[in-house]
Structure formats: C-alpha cells, structure tokens
Structure 1
C-alpha cells in the first residue's frame, strides 16, 4: 500500500514490533517469549537509545501468528519480517536494516509462512 499525498508524515521513521507473547509452557504452539524475545527486545531498545535513534520506536507486540518461526519481529514502513535468536542477530538487524536501510537476508521471513 502506498502513501497518499494527503497522508500526514510518519510519526516514526522506523517502527519495530517484536512479539513478546507468552503462552503456558505446555502449549504446543510455544511462544516467542519462551524463546527469549523479551530480553532480546530489551537489548534492542537499549542499543537504539545508545545510538540516539529518536525517530525509531521499538514496541512489544502480542502474538504475530508466526510462533513456529519465532521469535519474530516486523519492521515498518517496509513490512519486513525477521526471525532472530541472539544478541548478535538483534545488533545486525539494528545496524543493517534500521540504521543503514539494508536487509539481513539470512534472518528474513517469507511473506507467507
């Protein structure tokens, strides 16, 4: 979907939604929080602040319905989905995608699971 000329400017240059949904430990779908997304989100927020990226927002999200590929995040305005597992993954996404505008192809998820 493209922007219309009458649309107001974006409030954030980049908006990151990280799934921090938590299900009971015995749930067969699992959850991103069980896979460490809460701590990894906190790391990304702290790194974003250290870099002084005031036009970037890192948000928690409820279930993004890609539990089997988690933990996951989606970055707007591009709508790019990533699976991540380590602090190094988070740092690479932050530097390559958020700061430099590139993509971390090895962590990207297909549009449809």
Structure 2
C-alpha cells in the first residue's frame, strides 16, 4: 500500500449529556466524518487522502475537531459545509484554512519556538 498524501482524523469522542466541554460526536462529528468519506470518494481522491475516526483529541470544547497529518494542522468547529473547502484548499492546494485553525502555527513552528525558549534564545 502506498502512503497517503494526507491522513485526516475526525474526533468522534462522546461524553455524557451536559458535560461542560461537550463532545465532538454530539456536535456533528459523525456527519463530518461521513462527508469527508463521501466527498473524497465522489472526487476520486480516496486513494490519495485517508480519513479516520478518532477518539478524544482533547479539544471537544472546540469541536468538531479534526487534525490533518503529516502537517499536524488542527481545525476547530468543523461542520459539513466546511468539508468541500478543506478538501479543495488544504488537501489539493496545500493552503490551510486559517479561519478554522485551532492553533495559529504549524506544529513544527510551535516546536521550534519551544526549543528556542528552552535554549534561552527567544
């Protein structure tokens, strides 16, 4: 099997009703997951991009949360209507959608900042 260009994890964590953080599943996680699967299949892209269900991504208060690898880009508040845009802009054009980003920097940038702080450079 060849490596996928991108691997998308959609949080489907489920908490008890009334939990203060809520949960991605009750915020439409299943619908978002199915929309990714359908759109990738309809566009003939399922051999290039893989979507998987994820357990807790520890960010349900921002849900539906997804994370895209290999970049390590996290999106928050994703709804079905965002799926086409994410596929078109991020997956096909390699341009992350800043308005949906959970963290403003790539994971690599965050790690570089941490290393600089630890070294007393920043």
> Fold conserved (TM > 0.5)?
yes
Aligned-pair CA distance for 1:40: 1.2
Q: Could you say which structure has the larger radius of gyration? A: 2
| Correspondence 1:71 to 2:64 | yes
**Structure 1: gaps of 5 or more residues:** 1-9
**Structure 2: gaps of 5 or more residues:** 108-122
Tell me the SS of whatever aligns to 1:36: helix
| Correspondence 1:100 to 2:93 | yes
Aligned CA distance change for structure 1 residues 39 and 46 (closer, same or farther; 3 Å): same
Aligned-pair CA distance for 1:63: 0.4
Aligned-pair CA distance for 1:85: 3.6
Contact 2:78–2:100 (CA under 8 A) maintained in structure 1 = no
| Correspondence 1:33 to 2:30 | no
* TM-score calculated relative to the size of structure 1: 0.84
For 1:28-67, list aligned pairs within 5 A. Answer: 28-53=20-45, 54-67=47-60
CA RMSD of aligned residues (A): 1.6
| Correspondence 1:90 to 2:76 | no
Contact 1:25–1:34 (CA under 8 A) maintained in structure 2 = no
Question: Between Structure 1 and Structure 2, which shows a larger proportion of helix residues?
Answer: 2
* TM-score calculated relative to the size of structure 2: 0.78
Contact 2:12–2:29 (CA under 8 A) maintained in structure 1 = yes
Question: For this pair of structures, how many residues does the alignment match?
Answer: 103
